[in-house]
A and B are shown apart, each in its own frame.
Chain A
C-alpha cells in the first residue's frame, strides 16, 4: 500500500456547461512534493476541495490512505485553503489552542517555535498582522500537523520574495518522507526547485503528470518555460 492518493474517474460539474473537473484519474505516491499547476479556472481548487471533502463529486471517487474521503481522511490531511477561515479577532494563542482541540496530530511546540523564529508574538490578534504574516501564520498552523498529506492552495501568493523563501524552507524542513505535499500555484518559477513532480490541468482535464527532472531532461526547459509553451494563449 504505497499509494497515498487514488483518484478514479473524478468529475465535478457546477452546471451542465460548467464542468470544473472532468474525468480525472490519478494516483499519487508518498514522500513527494507535487506542484498542481494550471491557468486560472482550470479546476485546481475544485479538485483540492473534493480531496478535502468540501465538495461532493458528481462522479468518481477519491481514496486517501486507502480510505474514501470523509471524517477519517480529514484527520490525516492538512489543508491550507486559498482563503482564510480564521476569525481576525482571535489571538494567535487562542487559534493554537483551537487547533490542539481539533487535530490530534497538531504540535503546539512546533508552531510556537516557528512563530518565534519569525518574531510573531502569539499574544496578538490575527487581524493586527500584515497580509504576509497572516499567510505565514496559517502555513505554520498547517505545517505543524503531523499529517500524511498536506494540500496547500496558493501558499505563496501575495507574500514578498523573502517570505516566499521562508515558506518554501518551512515546507522542506518540515517535510517527512512518508508524507506528500501538494502545492497549487501560478508562481511556478519560485517553487520548481523544490518540486519532485508536477500535475498540469486545463479546462478540468489532466494534461500531464510527470517528474520535474523529466521535463528538464526531455525538453531542456524549466517547468516554468514548459508551462508557458503548453498553455500559450
Chain B
C-alpha cells in the first residue's frame, strides 16, 4: 500500500513526519530495527533517494541511529522520543486553536467545547 502523500510539499519532509509518527506511536519501539531504505521506499512507492534523504534528516536529529553492521535502529533515548511526541502534540493543539479562531471562537469557548466533548465521551 503506497503512502498517501501531499503533492505540494517536499516528499522527504512528509516521509520524515510519517516515520517520526511511527516511532512516537511505538510501531518502531526504542532500540528497534528499521527496514532498509530500499524496502521502505518500495512500500511507500517513493524514490529510494528521497527515502535516503528522509533517513539522513532523522539521523541528524538523533532519532534514528545507523550502525555499520546492524542497519538502522530507533534511538534508545526514550526521553528524546517523549520530547518529540510532546512537540507533535503541541503542533496539533496549536493548529486546533488557529482553526477555531478562524471559525470565530475565543480560546475559552474552544476549551469549553473540548471539555464538553471529553465529558460527553466519558459517559
Contacts and interface: CB of A to CB of B under 8 A. Distances in A.
User: Bound pair: A and B?
Assistant: yes
Most chain B beta carbons < 10 A, residue from A169, A216, A224: A216
Interface of A: 31-33, 165, 168-169, 172-173, 175, 177, 189, 192-196, 212-213, 216-217, 220-225
Interface residues of B, number: 16
Interface of B: 2, 5, 7-12, 41-42, 45-50
Contact of A168 (B5, B8, B45, B48): B45
B48 A175 contact: yes
B42 A172 contact: yes
A173 B42 contact: yes
A94 B48 CA distance: 34
Contacts of B47: 33, 172, 175, 193-196
Contacts of B46: 172, 193-194
A196 B7 contact: no
B7 A189 contact: yes
B1 to A, nearest CB: 11
A224 B6 CA distance: 12
Contacts of A212: 10-11
B69 to A, nearest CB: 20
B11 A213 contact: yes
Given A33-B49, A165-B45, A169-B45, A193 B5 contact: yes
9 closest A-B pairs (Cβ-Cβ)? A222-B7, A213-B10, A216-B10, A194-B47, A222-B8, A196-B49, A221-B8, A33-B47, A217-B10
B45 A216 contact: no
A193 B5 CA distance: 8
